[in-house]
Structure 1
């Protein structure tokens, strides 16, 4: 932990009402934006997209809208979005919405300024492992969920449907140049989506805390994110109308995104990517929740001190437990949190996952996102990964 790099180039404007600064900030990175939103229509229904266009115009910027993004973004739409950005002469890309829209904006920004196919640059699976010759167009991120933290990291996750590969990637140019985090935009998020996205942020922080890439600054941010999410996520799931509680969750999500920049996720995310690559109807946060208890129970024996820390961060009465049981306090606290936010009803079988799929999911996780296994604090082979998938199956 005494050898590390600290690199965080994104300017973050944070706080309720801060979206209005899009209309006045001198840090807008261009004059014509491709606005990337989901195909679901929520950004239009809530008026967020129209407001962003108005604010950009106030700041002297034109805009074009790309509205094809799916909950699990796909390669085809990255290609389409990049072609639109080039055809319209856009000089920056603005992601508005959840992690899917912002991740897509990052990938579109890369391909708007580079030749070939996006998959040429993927480092795993069937990816071409090439280095992009040019940086991405500048990116602006405006999240409307408290979950992915993608506003504070360079990572973008895209699925290649033909081969069922869901791969995370990023470089220095895919950090947003500017992120505006306005918790008021999150007041409209439904309880179940709030719960799932909140748990995505939770696991970003937890994984960063046990990762081999951890460092002192990521540890501090992870501690705060875990504590805030444990305290505020059940409250917001019960009543999402409070700006103060939404603000605490928004900061926890951004802090967890910073953890992804300064430390890293581990193989828990690799396994979920395999799961939702085969079953794209599974929300990312739901997949993480369904895998989490057996995954972290397995990890407990390898990083017991870190697991005890995490239990403390969650407010567990660790000192009342026998010493040998204390590392499992985190798993118990995790199960309680999942129940408190109403996600203990999630099952693989409800999404159509077959028990016979477990070996191929394990193989996919290791082949497509093997890099995160290298950052996991123990070696995990195909047999171990299969066993964790099987233990998670209900």
Structure 2
């Protein structure tokens, strides 16, 4: 009972909430709208709606539309230059986690000198203090995956060194976030599954992290419960607004977990995996690593796993104490089947078991700090072993 709670973001949650962008208080008069390089924001009319709603609120806008699914530093620097050239005084991230994360990083570099990697810690980052803060950030999420609308974290890749590293500080919390499940109805089943499981693992990792606290525990267990119940429904029927809303709220809760606890080394390993193989969607990478990771961790640090199993609907009262931690691993395997992801494998993404040592080394070099938050202290040999085990069905 000794912790800090700080989530300064105003969240507008619910179907139709995007319309309030026309009337709510905004942190500036000219926005840089950051979207992905894909077609969905334009094809679904979301970009035009946001531009129009901002205009009704007396706000002009400029669009930066080059963000990749695994966003890269070069686009952060370019986007920041666009913001400065056009006199933008706040940044809107519109889309999934990649667009909102990029918006946060662009907001940092629009106000600070040098290179983005000057401020990143880990790998070749210089870990310099952020002197000038960041432009205000508005997050409008069209997916339910990263929880970035409720936390300060942003994950960017330095392509030339294959370093995928998280960064965040008080200045990178969104000022305002709009979570409108109606914007998520168009997400296809596969991406719905990948994104939902990213939120699931944010919650699960935050629950077993050695910095967990009472607030993060509440957020995490409810997120796990909602995703287990509603993600299979949303995958099977993307038009089900009740399921979309439940998964969206679970995702926002998982962001709150990220703000009050933290991810652990499962995310370090996946960042290394998709840093080396950027074609791997982050959620897919987590799914493919998860059974091996949690099978290992539930052996070494079993104490918090039974509560997660119970949140997933397992009646652990009928199980011997020694079998309760593995009930979570079994329930996780069932959930992966229920969302249609049981057959994806690292081999499908051209990852070889011979890369296990390199992936483990990358994880320790770039995001070694998260290993300090594990409930059981892994070493490089354990990490390599987990990665190798992830190749085994």
With normalisation by structure 2, the TM-score equals: 0.99
Secondary structure at 2:160's aligned position in 1?
A: coil
Structure 1, 239-248 or 138-147: larger mean CA deviation: 239-248
Give, in whole Å, the separation in 1 of the partners of 2:223 and 2:32: 32
Match of 2:15 in 1: 16
Match of 2:338 in 1: 340
| CA RMSD, 1 decimal | 0.7
Match of 1:219 in 2: 217
Q: How far did residue 330 of structure 1 move?
A: 0.2
Match of 2:115 in 1: 117
Match of 1:6 in 2: 5
Secondary structure at 2:171's aligned position in 1?
A: helix
CA offset digits 1:60-89 (Å, max 9, x no partner): 000000000000000110011000000000
Give, in whole Å, the separation in 1 of the partners of 2:198 and 2:380: 24
Output aligned runs, 1:259-274, within 5 Å. 259-274=257-272
**Which of residues 67, 70, 75 is equivalent to 1:69?**
67
Secondary structure at 1:349's aligned position in 2?
A: helix
Match of 2:181 in 1: 183
Aligned residues: 392
With normalisation by structure 1, the TM-score equals: 0.99
CA offset digits 1:161-200 (Å, max 9, x no partner): 1000000010100000000100000000000100000000
Match of 1:95 in 2: 93
CA offset digits 1:246-299 (Å, max 9, x no partner): 111100000000000001010000000000000000000000000000101111
Give, in whole Å, the separation in 1 of the partners of 2:391 and 2:204: 22
Give, in whole Å, the separation in 1 of the partners of 2:39 and 2:233: 27
Secondary structure at 1:162's aligned position in 2?
A: helix
Secondary structure at 1:35's aligned position in 2?
A: strand
CA offset digits 1:18-48 (Å, max 9, x no partner): 000000002x010000000000111000000
Q: How far did residue 302 of structure 1 move?
A: 3.3
Match of 1:25 in 2: 24
Give, in whole Å, the separation in 2 of the partners of 1:312 and 1:303: 17
Secondary structure at 1:301's aligned position in 2?
A: helix
Q: How far did residue 316 of structure 1 move?
A: 1.1
Match of 1:167 in 2: 165
Match of 2:50 in 1: 52
Output aligned runs, 1:290-369, within 5 Å. 290-369=288-367
Give, in whole Å, the separation in 1 of the partners of 2:94 and 2:376: 37
Give, in whole Å, the separation in 1 of the partners of 2:281 and 2:186: 18
Q: How far did residue 364 of structure 1 move?
A: 0.5
Match of 1:153 in 2: 151
**Which of residues 190, 193, 205 is equivalent to 2:191?**
193
Give, in whole Å, the separation in 1 of the partners of 2:353 and 2:240: 41
Runs of 5+ in structure 1 lacking a partner? none
Q: How far did residue 301 of structure 1 move?
A: 2.4
**Which of residues 243, 246, 255 is equivalent to 1:245?**
243
**Which of residues 276, 279, 285 is equivalent to 1:278?**
276
Q: How far did residue 321 of structure 1 move?
A: 2.4
